[in-house]
Structure 1
Amino acid sequence: MKSTSQHSLFSRNLIGLSLMIFTSQIWAQTAEEIVKKADDNMRGKTSQAELVIITSRATWSREMDVKTWMKGTDFAMLLIQSPARDKGTVFLKRGKEVWNWIPTIERSIKLPPSMMSQSWMGTDFTNDDLVKESSIVSDYHHSIIGDTIIRNKPCYMIEMIPKPETAVVWSKLMVFIDKQDFLELYTEFFDEDGNVVNIMNAYDIQIMDGRLIPTRVEMIPMDKENQKTEIIYKTILFDRTIKDEFFTLNRMKYLN
């Protein structure tokens, strides 16, 4: 009788362990799918956008008009149209390479990976945030760790840990994605010591070119008072044809 009870207990424990492993595998896969859906919502197969980027400080603020072209995860081009002193500056991503065209010196400069964590044009976004050298889908391990409410919307809480072989800016991301429309509404960015360095909020959800997206995104550094940067979408077009040949070093010089 004792042997039968022990066997039954062992069987239950084995089944419980198997279910835990199976469930964790499903959740891990689901987390990656959720992140991919959110990423695809804002990216599309291609996108062309006109943005206003407002950098705010305690005693001043600055606006930039920016035009962007993006194709999948391999190609991106950003053109600064104003202010006058930065007009014509271009950033290009091809695969894992990022280039910067500086019209005042008529030179193209290749940005090393170490510069991806630096401020993009004096804003609170990094070069990687804007040019997207790293991929939130393929460069991280994803886990659903709970649920919460962000601005009256039920959201998944997804922890993203960078894969060991990838060079990324952040040691961890906590991403909050709306369960209904798969919109990334809130994100926390962590440094190597486990501290939250930046938070990102997404607001003003509207339909643009047939897609429901946040049209205003703000990045706020935690260690600086009265400081933030906002990206406001004026227009965006999804899934229009853009040839790979558009994203070249030579094209950077003639976008004006």
Structure 2
Amino acid sequence: MKTLLAISFLTFSLTAKAEDPAEWVKKADNIRNPAATYEMKIKVETPENTSVFQVHLKGQDKTLIVTQEPARDKGRNMLMLDRDFHAYVPNLKRSMRLSLAQKLSGQVANGDISRTRWYGDYTVTKESETADEVQLLLKGNKDNLTYAWIRLWLKKGSFQPQRAEYLGLNGKTVLKRAFFEDYKNVAGALRPTTLKIEDTNKQVSHIRILSMGKRDYSDSFFTVRNMESMK
């Protein structure tokens, strides 16, 4: 009897863990942006302009972004430490603290290229599922997030993010839609290399990963002083 109870409890525990939506989101995070040290080169294409950035990441709470193109914007670098976002303005010769939700360009917010973590930042519930996808609702549980609410669709089995709706503070109004596209083998795994972001006026911006690879960084690399000096 005790053996049967133990087996039943173990089966229940494994099933509960397998059905934990937060764990699905954690796996999706690791597909989009591994919790390790990486260097990426990305291109941001918006209706306003096209920019190229060198992005240095350590874990999922330290990001240093160096502007490479256009030439007129060189030196306009950005730094994210946890949920604090800093931007250096060369003309003013000083850095400013900005919001992750603030617009970078077009439909792209600062947090879209710096803080891409969902796991831990959101409370996750499953809303529905089909044969191919699971639909999740993510409610922000911390201050200064890029989006307060996200509706997210993951591919069953692989947990690959497919698309998302970025919602307003009421958790209902759709502000923007995002599509995770162009899956390729990058940095040892199959990852989306294009994020298409569309607003309610059908204006579209793209974030494209041009290259991605592992690189080691010390914590001292991610400082405001270093951000201000990077070229």
Structure 1 position 161 matched with structure 2 position 142: no
Map of 2:16 onto structure 1: 26
Shift in alpha-carbon separation, 1:166–1:248, aligned structure 2, 3 A: closer
Structure 2 CA distance for partners of 1:126 and 1:242, relative to 1, 3 Å: same
Matches within 5 A, 1:139-218: 139-148=121-130, 154-163=132-141, 166-193=143-170, 194-218=172-196
* Alignment-derived partner of residue 42 in structure 2: 51
* 1:77 corresponds to: 64
Counterparts of 1:52-131 in structure 2, within 5 Å, are 52-56=43-47, 61-111=48-98, 115-120=99-104, 122-131=105-114
> Higher helix share goes to which structure?
1
- Paired with 1:141 and 1:183, the residues of 2 have a C-alpha distance of 19
How far residue 131 of structure 1 moved from its aligned partner, in angstroms, is 2.3
Residue-by-residue CA offset, 1:180-208 (whole Å, 9 max, x unaligned): 33221100111134111100001111001
Aligned counterpart, 2:31? 41
How many residues matched? 217
1:209: Cα distance to partner?
A: 2.1
- Are 1:254 and 2:229 matched, yes or no? yes
Is residue 80–residue 89 contact of structure 1 (8 Å, CA) maintained in 2? yes
* 1:213-242: CA deviation from partner (whole Å, max 9, x where unpaired): 0111111001x24x111011110013x311
Amino acid at match of 2:184: Q
Whole-Å separation in 2 of the counterparts to 1:102 and 1:177: 38
Q: What corresponds to 2:210 in structure 1?
A: 234
| Unaligned ranges ≥5, structure 1 | 1-21
- Specify every segment of 5 or more residues in structure 2 that has no aligned partner in the other structure, as ranges: 1-11
Amino acid at match of 2:127: I
Native 8 Å contact 1:43 1:70 kept in 2: no
Q: Distance in 1 between matches of 2:117 and 2:188?
A: 25
Given that 1:28 and 1:143 are in contact with CA atoms closer than 8 Å, whether structure 2 keeps it comes out as no
Give the superposition deviation at 1:161: 1.5
Give the aligned residue type for 2:196: E
C-alpha distance 248-167 of structure 1, shift in aligned 2 (>3 A): closer
Q: In terms of Rg, which structure is larger?
A: 1
**Residue of structure 2 in register with 1:243 after alignment:** 218
Q: Would the alpha carbon gap of residues 54 and 141 (structure 1) be closer, same or farther in structure 2, given more than 3 Å must change?
A: same
* Cα drift, residue 29 of structure 1: 6.2
Q: Distance in 2 between matches of 1:173 and 1:28?
A: 22
Q: What amino acid maps onto 2:56 in structure 1?
A: W
Rate the CA distance shift 1:169–1:249 in 2: closer, same or farther, 3 A: closer
Tell me if the contact between 1:173 and 1:189 (Cα under 8 Å) persists in the aligned partners: yes
| Backbone CA RMSD of aligned residues | 2.3
1:69–1:83 distance in 2 versus 1, CA, 3 Å: same
**Larger CA deviation: 122-131 vs 32-41:** 122-131
Match of 1:15 in 2: none
TM-score, structure 1 as length reference: 0.77
Segments of 4+ moved more than 4 angstroms: none
Aligned mates of 1:177, 1:233 — CA distance in 2: 20
Corresponding residue for residue 3 of structure 1:
none
Q: TM-score, normalised by structure 2?
A: 0.85
